[in-house]
Amino acid sequence: MKFTKMHGNGNDFIVIEDFERRYLKNQENIAMELCHRNFGIGADGVLFVRNTDEADIEMVIINSDGSYAAMCGNGLRCFVKYVYEKDIVKADLINVKTGDGIKSVEIKGENGITQHIKVNMGNPSFDYKDIPLSENKTLIDYPIIIKNRNYNITTLRMGVPHTVIFGELKDFNIEDGKDIETNEIFKEGTNVNFCEIVNRNHIKVITWERGAGPTLACGTGNCASAFAAKTLNLVDNKILVEVQGGKLNILIENNHVFMIGNAEFICEGNILMDL
């Protein structure tokens, strides 16, 4: 199997071309094998490149534990860089079908290489049905007790469910995200973002990703954190998000979130697998 490994701010992915949908029925097991950091290539997830009649191209994301992810911001930037630089889709505006709908991505390239990727991540939702929650509640700065610990959480759907907790990063243990992820109020679990406000244009975020655990970056988590902070009037509409793996710029306009950054190739090759 041919593969390409990429990363967006340290959030790493294996990209597999699957135009004939050869791997569709076995994609969960393939992802778990490929993503294993001792017995496989090692990654947070696999991005399958597939054709579609509904957009220019389709991206399917499978997490390292074999679970399906509707959307991933860092993964989408890697995916778009891949299809652009591999001449699969050569355009300044690429429409990508995802599990969270069609995402429009603007490309600024030079000599066939992406320099700037701007993703319209859409309009986040606090509706309990969209997240989804087990109770009819709006979780904005909402007090909750999880395993005898007090949190004030803000939960929204930014492509996938995200819960944001504000404070100083030194006071958080990233492993606490596991207990929050699996709380019964979250019908499909939740990603968990611990967010520190540096100033009105700068935040720091660490993320526990549903289906992957701690990651160096999470694109949808960065967007969710910025939008939650804006909702609570903690930041302005242009926000630099600093994560362990790098930085992203987030722009909020008319309740739409735009993610601006790039992605990087790591390596390419072949891996032997029993399919």
Query: Which of these, 48, 28, 23, 68, lies nearest to 210 by C-alpha position?
Result: 68
Give the span between the Cα atoms of 205 and 169, in whole angstroms.
8
Residue 152 near residue 164 (C-beta atoms within 8 A): no
Q: Is 74 known as a binding-site position?
A: yes
Give the span between the Cα atoms of 224 and 37, in whole angstroms.
28
Q: Is 199 known as a binding-site position?
A: no
Q: Is 254 known as a binding-site position?
A: no
Q: Is 95 known as a binding-site position?
A: no
218 in active site:
yes
Which residue in the list 72, 78, 195, 223 is annotated as catalytic?
Answer: 72
Q: Is 11 known as a binding-site position?
A: yes
Q: Is 73 known as a binding-site position?
A: yes
From first CA to last CA, the distance across the chain in angstroms is 10
Helix, strand, coil % (nearest 5) of the chain? 15, 45, 35
Kindly calculate the radius of gyration of the chain based on its CA atoms and give it in whole angstroms. 18
Which residue in the list 35, 78, 195, 218 is annotated as catalytic?
Answer: 218
> Is the N-terminal amide bond of 124 cis, ω within 30° of 0?
no
3-state secondary structure of 73: helix
3-state secondary structure of 249: strand
Q: Is 111 known as a binding-site position?
A: no
Tell me the binding residues.
11, 63, 73-74, 191, 209-210, 219-220
- State the catalytic residues: 72, 218
Tell me the binding residues for substrate.
11, 63, 73-74, 191, 209-210, 219-220
